Chains A and B, each alone.
Chain A
């Protein structure tokens, strides 16, 4: 169930990146925005939480800063993330709502950013305590529309610049960045001709792609489109106040707009809409501008308040715990793809956490169930179940799961990574969730998932058939290669037992699986227990799900005490994993669970502080809180 190594496979592929690439985010399951620690817009994923990043951002290349506000001064612009980075405080709302606030105390300005709940529009507002001298704010953005993801290579749009961008232009007080699907050389030539004064390309009105349109709550004082870098860049035009002279750009391009600050609210607001066609983007933009900033913000708050109040805590939990629970829950739901149900690990590009990690299915599904989001849990499980491989391929046998997936079902990791724990945890989760479903939904649920359970169960059974004589290998995230371990066997045992229970409930007995389960149990007892039945395994807690030693058995006491001490001494993400294992072991022992209350909050807080935009740690936090405070 637990992922000891924090980062996913693609760290090795893309490099460690920058942990501050995204410290706060907001999203509606289709559009996700994120900000780095300096307050620059680093993430703009659309459509879906595992989709391409529609903004070019680099923490090392100063010219690629994604999106940001600036304040004009004599001879240039003070870009807030650049000039005031060390003073920026990037947070989400105290209530846990994914509304991002960036405070620039040194200049008396505050940014607010959020994604609307029902339309794919992100709203960015810069508010001043006092009117700026220039009465204008500058919005700069390096939007880079990208229309697809690449199999087994997340964040490919960051590596291959040919995959993103095409044209930026201003028209009717709106700035557009656009790229059609699979553009040919002819389409590029059409845009070139249009830049030189020819007719607008036909794909501006026909065909799909990615359109990003932004406008302000008032008419632009000026706008400019230019290159990403160099003297013809949008940034250079903004710094030189060369507005309205550069209305179109081709290739890797960025844009900037000068927006008059409203004297009444002392603020400037930009609405950014995304759509598959220009009409879609224009339509969403129009709705947002019509409703206005405050109405959209109130609607987002109300929607989130409703969503995270499902499965409320007991009253004695206190506000602090309630807020922590809301925050963890909101993080989890923000990263849940609205259309499919897959949950991305995070929004970051480097390392690429913008993928659904199969092994995490049990953690996230269980958290969703505990929080009362049963439907979301069902959708998540169905997403993974339908991703179970149905035929053999080299290195990817039928019944196995890709280690990582995009929400569209495509593999997001190399096929050589065979994580046997992933289908095992899926089976365990499917059966756990079955128990929580209302009776009237179970039949349809079992019917829908039966085929996947059979495939995965057969895979696990075959994989472990020679377990007595030959080590069985599975990918290890810590060693970053295949290893064999007692822990993996424990997970496979739990998964196979769950699969057998599922099939029995569906009216079929799999005696081969039952036989294999017996063999696996023998193996576990031989390797985990000594001749007197006491634990000899280095980490007995990792066997909590096997039930080879009953949860109430006194043999657990030493482990419970020692792990409890470790957690108290060191509240950190690793401790949160241990805490959740412990709480799962003790979940029917309320007295012992109560003893974990003091550490539950501190440990969860510590983990979320280090990983503020991580669905795995959010799910762990949620499980810890909801199990302990029940």
Chain B
């Protein structure tokens, strides 16, 4: 009997046990994977949700981001871009998140939603989470009569096999109840999709690839045209930021879309009021209605900002490009009517300077063979007049083009943030805090190269594609 028992013990020990364990884990992993991948990307959130970030395979996207060229460029300055989030999840759940643990506990399908009730997440977790929840219920931590349970600071509930969780109970309640929530747009080929509601609803897919390729669309009426845009790449030096469109109203409307994002910043209303009052105070009037008639497209560029001055002054330019010769009549003559001007010539290009505020803010207007150009100061006009290139042209179907230089934006942000910190304008932060916590992120962002987004107008929709962080070595290709 004793010898029989001893032989049995030998059967289940040693490498056999190890092999069995590996097979069990692999089977479990394979089964779980199939289970969590079987679900569609669905989400439940309140009707008032205004932003959704979804991913068909969040762990895969997460890992892909780590391997991406964008992350490689950023990692020296900002090695852990989501370190704060990782810490928060660990403190909230007790689990340090990584792609594999996320798959194990939360599955692959993940949707993060922002609503007036709060922020919440929908996922299709694996059996581990379901079993853990069942165990909690058995131990007395049952959901209430509305089906909502709590874990630490979180409220959560199940709906159609999906887990809804949020620190806001109101969010979970509304997510369970509402069937009028915005329809989720999600793309299985994209790493992430960010979708927003509001005046110009739309979405953008973040795809896997060099330079952070994106594509998407939004409700936005832009003017359609046939001739290719040439101004986006025409500036002698790459602007910090430029918007090119067929009509000036389109460029202004595009700005107002972004304005929705920044208008809640405390400084913004004051800054907007200041700009408005300054323009009014200077006696500048509105342009005539058809001031841009005949122009094929217009580009507004922020070329630089003198952030080291007492008041940071932007170097700005506006260019109207005409298919044939630029008209003789100045497009903005009515704006400066009654204001004294001085005649000026830049090479063979004539124009005027409008003395307003010293040499650093006295706009200049010049006519070149195919363009009318306005700059914020004379030295800038000297750099640009007659030197705007004829191309390279964008693709013919492009009606709106957005370009930005992360390096220049980063340099500007670096100076301004330090200045704000020195002047104690950043709540609860001084220069040392900013240097430790914010400047590395700005340094990382400044290495992202160039943002290039091209949009095509289709009825009331603007479809766009491009790169968020095209490396500047390949940007010229």
Cα distance, A483 to B283, chains bound together (Å): 13
Among A94-102, A408-416, A544-552, A622-630, the stretch in contact with B? A408-416
**Is the Cβ of B310 less than 8 Å from the Cβ of A12?**
no
**Is the Cβ of A481 less than 8 Å from the Cβ of B430?**
no
**Is the Cβ of A162 less than 8 Å from the Cβ of B359?**
no
Is B342 part of the binding interface, using a Cβ–Cβ cutoff of 8 Å? Answer: yes
**Would you give the shortest CB distance from B418 to chain A, in whole angstroms?**
12
**Is the Cβ of B313 less than 8 Å from the Cβ of A416?**
yes
B195-217 interface mask toward A, CB cutoff 8 Å, 1 = contact, 0 = none? 00000000000000000000000
Among A70-78, A147-155, A489-497, A509-517, the stretch in contact with B? A147-155
Cα distance, A418 to B310, chains bound together (Å): 13
Cα distance, A393 to B281, chains bound together (Å): 25
Is B24 part of the binding interface, using a Cβ–Cβ cutoff of 8 Å? Answer: no
Contact partner of B310 (CB less than 8 A), chosen from A148, A151, A183, is: A151
Contact partner of A184 (CB less than 8 A), chosen from B274, B427, B429, is: B429
For chain B, which range describes its interface: under 10, 10 to 19, 20 to 34, or 35 or more residues? 35 or more
Among B139-147, B173-181, B350-358, the stretch in contact with A? B350-358
**Would you give the shortest CB distance from A95 to chain B, in whole angstroms?**
41
**Is the Cβ of B358 less than 8 Å from the Cβ of A182?**
no
Is B431 part of the binding interface, using a Cβ–Cβ cutoff of 8 Å? Answer: yes
**Would you give the shortest CB distance from A357 to chain B, in whole angstroms?**
16
**Is the Cβ of A160 less than 8 Å from the Cβ of B425?**
yes
Point out the residues of chain A lying under 8 angstroms from B355, CB to CB: 473, 481-483
Is B362 part of the binding interface, using a Cβ–Cβ cutoff of 8 Å? Answer: yes
Cα distance, A416 to B312, chains bound together (Å): 10
Contact partner of B428 (CB less than 8 A), chosen from A150, A185, A473, is: A185
Q: Given A163-B423, A185-B429, A416-B311, check contact A15 B358 (CB 8 Å).
A: no
Cα distance, A185 to B431, chains bound together (Å): 10
Is B433 part of the binding interface, using a Cβ–Cβ cutoff of 8 Å? Answer: yes
Is B426 part of the binding interface, using a Cβ–Cβ cutoff of 8 Å? Answer: yes
**Is the Cβ of A188 less than 8 Å from the Cβ of B282?**
no
Is A156 part of the binding interface, using a Cβ–Cβ cutoff of 8 Å? Answer: yes
**Would you give the shortest CB distance from B64 to chain A, in whole angstroms?**
34
**Would you give the shortest CB distance from A135 to chain B, in whole angstroms?**
42
Cα distance, A516 to B374, chains bound together (Å): 35
**Is the Cβ of B430 less than 8 Å from the Cβ of A183?**
yes
**Is the Cβ of A15 less than 8 Å from the Cβ of B277?**
yes
**Is the Cβ of A182 less than 8 Å from the Cβ of B431?**
yes
Q: Given A162-B425, A414-B310, check contact A184 B432 (CB 8 Å).
A: yes
Is B415 part of the binding interface, using a Cβ–Cβ cutoff of 8 Å? Answer: no
A130-174 interface mask toward B, CB cutoff 8 Å, 1 = contact, 0 = none? 000000000000000001101111001001111100000000000
**Is the Cβ of B283 less than 8 Å from the Cβ of A479?**
yes
Is B361 part of the binding interface, using a Cβ–Cβ cutoff of 8 Å? Answer: yes
**Is the Cβ of A12 less than 8 Å from the Cβ of B278?**
yes
Q: Given A183-B428, A414-B311, A415-B309, check contact A12 B274 (CB 8 Å).
A: yes
Cβ-closest chain B residue relative to A166: B428
Contact partner of A480 (CB less than 8 A), chosen from B273, B282, B362, is: B282
Is A13 part of the binding interface, using a Cβ–Cβ cutoff of 8 Å? Answer: yes
Cα distance, A395 to B310, chains bound together (Å): 11
Cβ-closest chain B residue relative to A150: B423
**Is the Cβ of A416 less than 8 Å from the Cβ of B358?**
yes
Point out the residues of chain A lying under 8 angstroms from B274, CB to CB: 12-13
Is A620 part of the binding interface, using a Cβ–Cβ cutoff of 8 Å? Answer: no
Of the candidates B311, B358, B426, B433, the one having the most CB atoms from chain A within 10 angstroms of its own CB is: B358
Q: Given A15-B277, A162-B426, A163-B423, check contact A481 B357 (CB 8 Å).
A: yes
A456-485 interface mask toward B, CB cutoff 8 Å, 1 = contact, 0 = none? 000000000000000101010001111110
**Would you give the shortest CB distance from A178 to chain B, in whole angstroms?**
15
Q: CB within 8 Å of A: which of B271-285?
A: 273-274, 277-278, 281-283
Is B270 part of the binding interface, using a Cβ–Cβ cutoff of 8 Å? Answer: yes
**Binding site of B, secondary structure by majority: helix, strand, loop or mixed?**
loop
**Binding site of A, secondary structure by majority: helix, strand, loop or mixed?**
loop
Point out the residues of chain A lying under 8 angstroms from B432, CB to CB: 184
Contact partner of B311 (CB less than 8 A), chosen from A152, A183, A185, A418, is: A152
Cβ-closest chain B residue relative to A162: B427
Cα distance, A188 to B267, chains bound together (Å): 22
Point out the residues of chain B lying under 8 angstroms from A438, CB to CB: none
**Is the Cβ of B428 less than 8 Å from the Cβ of A482?**
no
**Is the Cβ of A482 less than 8 Å from the Cβ of B357?**
yes
Is B224 part of the binding interface, using a Cβ–Cβ cutoff of 8 Å? Answer: no
Cβ-closest chain B residue relative to A419: B358
Cα distance, A599 to B362, chains bound together (Å): 43
Q: Given A156-B423, A483-B340, check contact A395 B428 (CB 8 Å).
A: no
Point out the residues of chain B lying under 8 angstroms from A163, CB to CB: 423-425
Is A318 part of the binding interface, using a Cβ–Cβ cutoff of 8 Å? Answer: no
**Is the Cβ of B360 less than 8 Å from the Cβ of A416?**
yes
Is A394 part of the binding interface, using a Cβ–Cβ cutoff of 8 Å? Answer: yes
Cα distance, A72 to B427, chains bound together (Å): 36
Point out the residues of chain B lying under 8 angstroms from A121, CB to CB: none
**Is the Cβ of A418 less than 8 Å from the Cβ of B270?**
no
**Would you give the shortest CB distance from A181 to chain B, in whole angstroms?**
9
Is A417 part of the binding interface, using a Cβ–Cβ cutoff of 8 Å? Answer: yes
**Is the Cβ of A418 less than 8 Å from the Cβ of B358?**
yes
Is B25 part of the binding interface, using a Cβ–Cβ cutoff of 8 Å? Answer: no
Q: Given A13-B274, A159-B270, check contact A394 B423 (CB 8 Å).
A: no
Q: Given A162-B426, A182-B431, A481-B282, check contact A416 B357 (CB 8 Å).
A: yes
**Is the Cβ of A184 less than 8 Å from the Cβ of B430?**
yes
**Is the Cβ of B423 less than 8 Å from the Cβ of A415?**
no
Contact partner of A482 (CB less than 8 A), chosen from B278, B313, B356, is: B356
Given A182-B430, A188-B428, A482-B357, 6 more A-B residue pairs with CB atoms under 8 Å apart are: A413-B310, A415-B360, A417-B357, A418-B357, A418-B358, A481-B356
Residues of B within 8 A of A (CB): 266-267, 270, 273-274, 277-278, 281-283, 306, 309-311, 313, 339-340, 342, 355-362, 422-433
Residues of A within 8 A of B (CB): 12-13, 15, 147-148, 150-153, 156, 159-163, 182-185, 188, 393-395, 411, 413-418, 471, 473, 475, 479-484
17 contacts between A and B (CB under 8 A): A12-B277, A13-B277, A152-B311, A161-B266, A162-B427, A163-B423, A163-B425, A183-B428, A414-B311, A415-B358, A416-B311, A416-B313, A471-B340, A480-B282, A481-B282, A483-B340, A483-B355
Leading 3 A-B pairs by shortest Cβ distance = A152-B310, A395-B360, A414-B311
